[in-house]
């Protein structure tokens, strides 16, 4: 098949007639590309410098004449208004968790349950110690009353010189000892009462 030389020559681009046009368009293209890169870099830097984007609530108004409400689509990071720290007064193994992250909870709602067997045992021991301390307190109270009566009798007898000073001193020491024991048992009762009040 013969080649049509005139047709091929008509498809050739004459560079002499276009002059410096390609160079100008390349410069303009390079300038536009540089501007786009600068804008993209500034946008990336501003997004990175902000810690978290909060999504604000927007109100959509119904356009007059249309029957459907406008829909607003948005994206970003949601930041909680309130943060809460939950802790327990006693330590123990968690045996049940009733909530998940992000759930709405109410005041007084049980969030989790701990294994309280050790705490209950300690409370039971404290309750028994309280009972024992009450019994000891009552006994020492009676002994203190007896020691005080003995002390008063010996003071009277010592005034008449019927007992020695050693007997009077022994009665004084016994009275003070019973007073100290009574105070110690009172303190033990307070501690045991405080621990046993933790009973569930």
Residue extents of the structural domains in the chain: 117-196
Q: For residues 54-78, b (16+ Cβ closer than 10 Å) or e, as one string?
A: eeeeeeeeeeeeeeeeeeeeeeeee
The whole-number pLDDT of residue 153 equals 92
**Helices vs. strands in the chain: H and E counts, helices first:** 5, 2
Distance CA 172, CA 128 (A): 33
Per-residue pLDDT of the chain (200 residues; tens, 9 = 90+): 566 677 667 767 666 555 545 556 777 787 788 888 888 877 776 666 554 445 555 555 555 555 555 676 777 777 777 777 777 777 778 888 888 877 888 888 888 888 888 878 888 888 888 888 889 899 999 999 999 999 999 999 989 888 899 999 999 999 999 999 999 988 888 888 887 776 54
The whole-number pLDDT of residue 143 equals 92
Q: Which CATH number fits domain 117-196: 1.20.120, 1.10.1740, 1.10.287, 1.10.10?
A: 1.10.287
The whole-number pLDDT of residue 52 equals 45
Grouping H, G, I as helix, E, B as strand and the rest as coil, residue 155 is helix
The whole-number pLDDT of residue 86 equals 77
The whole-number pLDDT of residue 118 equals 83
Look up the pTM and report it.
0.42
Count, residues in the chain: 200
127 Cβ contact list (under 8 Å, min separation 6) = 192, 196, 199
């Amino acid at each position: 098949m013969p080649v049509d030389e005139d047709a091929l020559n008509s498809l050739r681009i004459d560079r002499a007639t276009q002059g410096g046009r390609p160079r100008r368009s390349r410069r303009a293209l390079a300038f536009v590309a540089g501007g786009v890169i600068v804008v993209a870099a500034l946008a990336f830097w501003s997004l990175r410098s902000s810690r978290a984007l909060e999504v604000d609530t927007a109100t959509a108004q119904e356009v007059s004449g249309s029957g459907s409400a406008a829909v607003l689509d948005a994206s970003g990071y949601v930041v909680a208004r309130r943060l809460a720290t939950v802790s327990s007064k006693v330590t123990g193994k968690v045996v049940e968790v009733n909530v998940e992250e992000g759930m709405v909870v109410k005041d007084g709602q049980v969030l989790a349950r701990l294994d309280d067997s050790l705490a209950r045992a300690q409370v039971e021991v404290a309750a028994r110690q309280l009972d024992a301390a009450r019994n000891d307190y009552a006994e020492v109270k009676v002994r203190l009353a007896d020691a005080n009566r003995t002390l008063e009798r010996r003071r009277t007898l010592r005034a008449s010189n019927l007992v020695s000073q050693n007997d009077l001193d022994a009665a004084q020491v016994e009275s003070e000892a019973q007073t100290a024991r009574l105070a110690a048992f009172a303190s033990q009762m307070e501690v045991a009462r405080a621990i046993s009040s933790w009973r569930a």
